[in-house]
Structure 1
Amino acid sequence: MDLGLKGKLAVITGGSVGIGLAVAEGLAAEGASVLITARGQERVHAEAARIGATWGVEAHGVAADVATAQGCAKIVTAAAQLGGAHILINNAGTGSNETIAEADDAKWQYYWDLHVMAAVRLARGLVPQMKIHNWGAIIHNASICAVQPLWYEPIYNTTKAALMMFSKTLANEVVGDNIRVNTINPGLVLTPDWIKTAKQLAGEDGYEAHLQGVADEAGGMKRFATPEELANFFVFLCSDRASYSTGSTYFVDGGWLRTV
């Protein structure tokens, strides 16, 4: 199936590892050019070079912190120099661990900048580029926690819920410009962060059993998705095969969500 993505420029934040890297690889496999961003300069450039060599596409890496205005501006400038973005994957983010009573203002502000303001700033900078192309696709990687919160990460829950609302609002604003905006709310995805945390909690010999316990508690399919499984859905939503989809939120969670 030709997804019509050949030659499109895709900007993927948090693109050097985990879900973001899998999405970048999936888009490159469809012939899209990719601009991946992450804070670590050595890794982001190495992964961009590997993607370009593997799939024979134009691939670039930009070291930037999307939690800052300067980092977002650097990404916007890089995309413009490459002819302008067609696709934006707002993926950069991380979980939190706190109580509302104990978390200070600085922690709330950091996650707000990372999960919400990054999306706002990149939309302001990249939507005009998409308008020039008269074609665009924006996908926000939020979380099942946006609607089904986990007790130990109130800041993550709150900022991901705000990202979901921003996505809907942006979709309404640009629907007349042939730019589609959607949200994906993943469930359990086996990223390096999950494995690292599991090893810290249960050790090298016990981490797999720990992860299975997490999956069993979630219910549904009782397993983690691979980053590639989630990336397949991202790639489809970017394509013209999803041409009537905008302003929507999709749960890719293996049946974890407990409501309809």
Structure 2
Amino acid sequence: MSQELSALTAVVTGGASGLGAAIAGKLQSMGARVAVLDLVPAGLPEGQLGFTCDVSDDASVRAAIDGTVAAFGGVDIVVNNAGIGAQGTIESNDDAEWHRVLDINVIGMVRVSRAALPHLRRSSAAAIVNTCSIAATAGLPQRALYSASKGAVLSLTQAMAADHLREGIRVNAVNPGTADTPWVGRLLDSADDPAAERAALNARQPHGRLVLPEEVAGAVAYLASPLSGSTTGTSIAVDGGMQALRLRPAGQ
């Protein structure tokens, strides 16, 4: 296994499950020291260090970053992965829910990045990777609030990349399609016909299946690696071709 992240410290928010756990595991396998920031950082693999962190609370975020620095001596990579989902049209959620989702999905990334910036400036291989979504670049039904939050993440990523490039900090995003995560699993379980709903989600992506967490982790690892030193201000779609491809129906 490549050890190109050896001697680097990576922070992964929401790293105890789903995409975050796959990302943390991938970075660790490449030699990084990994700090997992999560509401419940339990059951982590050996070698990962967990910190209880609520990205909607600035004091909680700063305490977790300070703990990471105390344990590992610095921060080189920040993966802003923590986030929550939302369903419905603009009529489906009240103001409080709009504020809650935007606070976690967008301002949460601001809090974590802001707390880490003094340490990233001291790194020779500083990188921030934000977990965005296909929802930022394609209009999906019943995802108005979630799409708005991820559209903000995409724009935020580009603005951050411009602001911090000359400080030696690269900022990029990864845009997963519908991934096979616990959150999607819960959505499927709550559907009237879970099997039919899974089939519909599979068919929505041109390669015919849900995105695997390990595939998203691979893209994050590429963006985080110092070998990608000329890649900044961009996003990588990991969506089975959903954004870019327009295939004819199967058999035609």
TM-score, normalised with respect to structure 1:
0.88
SS in 2 for 1:96: coil
In structure 1, what is the equivalent of residue 63 of structure 2?
74
What RMSD over aligned residues (CA atoms) do the two structures have, in Å? 1.8
* Matched AA of 1:257: Q
Identical pairs, percent: 29
Residues 137-156 of structure 1 mapped to structure 2, 5 A cutoff: 137-156=127-146
- Count of aligned residue pairs for this structure pair: 245
In structure 1, what is the equivalent of residue 200 of structure 2?
213
Of 171, 188, 207, 2:178 maps to: 188
Give the gaps of 5 or more residues in structure 2: 247-252
Going from structure 1 to structure 2, the CA distance change for 1:60 and 1:171 (only over 3 Å counts) comes to same
Kindly indicate whether the alpha-carbon contact (under 8 Å) linking 1:3 and 1:241 is maintained by their aligned counterparts in 2: no
Give the gaps of 5 or more residues in structure 1: 53-58
SS in 2 for 1:133: coil
Cα distance in 2 between the residues matched to 1:18 and 1:172: 30
* Matched AA of 1:46: G
* Matched AA of 1:198: L
Kindly indicate whether the alpha-carbon contact (under 8 Å) linking 1:139 and 1:183 is maintained by their aligned counterparts in 2: yes
TM-score, normalised with respect to structure 2:
0.91
Of 85, 91, 111, 1:101 maps to: 91
* Moved segments of 4+, more than 6 Å: none
Worse overlay, 71-80 or 170-179: 71-80
Cα distance in 2 between the residues matched to 1:102 and 1:212: 25
* Matched AA of 1:129: H
In structure 2, what is the equivalent of residue 56 of structure 1?
none
Kindly indicate whether the alpha-carbon contact (under 8 Å) linking 1:12 and 1:37 is maintained by their aligned counterparts in 2: yes
Going from structure 1 to structure 2, the CA distance change for 1:102 and 1:25 (only over 3 Å counts) comes to closer
Kindly indicate whether the alpha-carbon contact (under 8 Å) linking 1:28 and 1:51 is maintained by their aligned counterparts in 2: no
* Matched AA of 1:17: S
Residues 149-168 of structure 1 mapped to structure 2, 5 A cutoff: 149-168=139-158
* Matched AA of 2:39: R
In structure 1, what is the equivalent of residue 12 of structure 2?
12
SS in 1 for 2:79: strand
* Matched AA of 1:221: H
SS in 1 for 2:43: helix
In structure 2, what is the equivalent of residue 178 of structure 1?
168
Question: What's the CA shift for 1:208?
Answer: 4.5
Going from structure 1 to structure 2, the CA distance change for 1:149 and 1:69 (only over 3 Å counts) comes to farther
Q: Which has the higher helix share?
A: 1
